[in-house]
Amino acid sequence: MSTCTKHPLENPISNTKSTLIHQEGAVLKTDANLDRLKRLYQVSHQAEFLYLQAEADTLLCQLETEIKGRRLAHTY
């Protein structure tokens, strides 16, 4: 049975391409899934930020409209 161990010098948090070393067969495999997950995480947070930014812009427009309406009401 093939067992996988992490390379002893590898830090999976700081290394974007972690490598698994199979003890039998000496097969090296780069972990493309980790890179893919990191990209998805970044895209997800970017989309969330853009959504929240649009929501804030909408609320600011509503406030400006309300303030202008109140100013007009006080002038008449």
* 9 has a pLDDT exceeding 90: no
Classified as helix, coil or strand, 71 is helix
When mean pLDDT is compared over 2-6, 7-11, 52-56, the highest value belongs to 52-56
Q: What is the DSSP string of 10-54?
A: --TTT-SS-EEEETTT--EEE-HHHHHHHHHHHHHHHHHHHHHHH
Sorted by where each begins, the domain ranges of the chain are 1-30, 43-76
Enter the pTM of the model: 0.47
pLDDT digit string, tens, across residues 27-72: 445 577 788 888 888 888 999 999 999 999 999 999 999 999 999 8
